[in-house]
Structure 1
């Protein structure tokens, strides 16, 4: 007897739900199993500063809300109606979806679908804001790491540090030239981009990035402000993780060192390897804790990263409240984003 389409869909939905929650749990279980006994002993022996852990939660929450407002400013620069409160509400739901979504439905896709349904005729601009928000966020991360590396100077030495310094500086300069050239450039930049867009494989990628950025030529002030906001967001996240490390261990890496370590770990976690970067961030943090600090640290990057994930999940619970108390329009946008191909 053949299965009906409804039964097939039901099985797919069950498997997808299991994957949504089973994969992150499996990754966390694996990370915990890899923690060495001496690392657990060091954690247990260290006096805990719970006030610093609470402060890490507050700073992390403030940084996350500021990232929501960054996207709201990009939206408003295109004269798309959206109040700051709505921007925070949609940002919170999107942040939640980054933890439980596989495939098309992510925070950016949901927000873009929601606004495009509310503002007919602004679909391209709406999806552009979501894409540019990601680009600006990544560039702010590179700026924080670059400035921190420059301020630390020669106090950090070694081949690994030299390689990291070269890569971060190069990406930061290249990103600045690319974004400023597209946003502030004129007809010469347009002609050059048109030629690049005809190149196989490279052209489609440049097209997806360049067109949304060129739309901000008439909103350069807002664009520059969002870059500054992104820098502040990533500085605050580094501070939050430093507070976690200082709250758990006697000798964590210093705050300036966290300004280098955390942006790099976040950049690695942004790669589409695992759900919400879970597992990747902890691994990167643990590796950088072993390589970058000038003085040896007793802190485990894996443990600090896992605590940070708990902080993020706690913040994401705010999105649950917004989702369940949202209007039917929110639910319909979620369903539309779930069944349609990604457009950004």
Structure 2
């Protein structure tokens, strides 16, 4: 199949999934109530949520640049931040256009003649280990709060100790697989994984402050965090995570008897925060970023 046709069909599928899930969710909830909840959010907490999301993206850009530097692609951090913001804009606002990662690869190849294949490999490793970090945190949440899936798996709590003990084995197995398939050194894998865990930690804090902004007072924050992390994993099947995040929050609210409108609002606000930050990348869409290499003094 022609790559362009394949890419177009994949985009249509993702947009279709997003629109379908979005429709199914907002058909079943009180839209006016959701709008009212959004309009009455506590701006102080919401600003803190935005701040932690920004921090997560800055650290995420450092993670990718760490991988670049590990392969002697000495891109300056300022240039990397410009590319990262541009990539966020493309990923969120340019359906049908070149993807954010692909455009970063194109610009790096054009400016420094770096091989596109090698850069794409590092970008893929960056994404893959990022997903691995999310999976690790989800795994730990299930281990600490087995009630999350206890109603789905009979007597799951009886096996919880084994579930916990398997964690380091799974991590080590992931490192070995990554090493065999992508030749990622042990140190590079664990450093990138650490970056990824910190990134997710910042986004988890962002979600907690979103719940505070909505006036949610509950000891069940772990449920919202669990669903948020799941939506981050499954966002690859939708466009920019739109629809899938709201759908999972809606289903969680039904399963655990939480307020459906409020749960969906959490997902919607996170999507809006992502859009708000991503739109600043439009500056580098119209004015292509000037890129430079890091000098010997590290500047």
**Corresponding position of 1:3:** none
Gaps of 5+ in 1: 1-14, 190-209, 330-344
**Corresponding position of 2:232:** 266
Confirm whether residue 222 of structure 1 aligns to residue 222 of structure 2: no
Confirm whether residue 179 of structure 1 aligns to residue 174 of structure 2: yes
- Using the alignment, how far apart are the partners of 2:191 and 2:23 within structure 1? 41
**Corresponding position of 1:290:** 254
Q: CA deviation at 1:98?
A: 0.8
**Pairing partner for 2:139 from 139, 146, 161:** 146
**Corresponding position of 1:275:** 239
- Using the alignment, how far apart are the partners of 2:45 and 2:205 within structure 1? 11
Q: TM-score, normalised by structure 2?
A: 0.76
Kept in 2, the 8 Å contact 1:74–1:223? The answer is no
Confirm whether residue 77 of structure 1 aligns to residue 88 of structure 2: no
Gaps of 5+ in 2: 1-7, 292-299
**Corresponding position of 1:301:** 263
**Corresponding position of 1:246:** 212
Distance 1:155 1:30, change over 3 A: closer
**Corresponding position of 2:201:** 235
Q: CA deviation at 1:148?
A: 1.9
Show CA shifts across 1:48-73 (max 9, x none).
Answer: 42211111111111112211111111
DSSP-derived class of the 1:80 partner: coil
- Using the alignment, how far apart are the partners of 1:29 and 1:145 within structure 2? 24
- Using the alignment, how far apart are the partners of 2:217 and 2:107 within structure 1? 46
Query: Which one has the largest radius of gyration?
Result: 1
Looking at both structures, which has the greater relative contact order when contacts are Cα pairs under 8 Å and sequence separation is at least 6? 2
Confirm whether residue 314 of structure 1 aligns to residue 276 of structure 2: yes
DSSP-derived class of the 1:319 partner: helix
**Pairing partner for 1:120 from 89, 113, 121:** 113
Confirm whether residue 130 of structure 1 aligns to residue 130 of structure 2: no
DSSP-derived class of the 1:110 partner: helix
- Using the alignment, how far apart are the partners of 1:326 and 1:76 within structure 2? 23
DSSP-derived class of the 2:135 partner: helix
- Using the alignment, how far apart are the partners of 1:183 and 1:281 within structure 2? 28
Confirm whether residue 105 of structure 1 aligns to residue 69 of structure 2: no
Q: CA deviation at 1:109?
A: 1.2
Confirm whether residue 66 of structure 1 aligns to residue 35 of structure 2: no
Distance 1:152 1:23, change over 3 A: closer
- Using the alignment, how far apart are the partners of 2:154 and 2:249 within structure 1? 14
Aligned residue runs from structure 1 range 194-209, under 5 A: none
Show CA shifts across 1:48-106 (max 9, x none).
Answer: 42211111111111112211111111111100120111111111111111113445721
- Using the alignment, how far apart are the partners of 2:151 and 2:44 within structure 1? 35
Q: CA deviation at 1:154?
A: 4.9
Kept in 2, the 8 Å contact 1:252–1:297? The answer is no
Kept in 2, the 8 Å contact 1:252–1:299? The answer is no
Kept in 2, the 8 Å contact 1:67–1:233? The answer is yes
- What is the number of residues matched between the two proteins? 277
Distance 1:102 1:47, change over 3 A: closer
Distance 1:94 1:253, change over 3 A: farther
DSSP-derived class of the 2:73 partner: coil
Distance 1:121 1:87, change over 3 A: closer
Distance 1:156 1:30, change over 3 A: closer
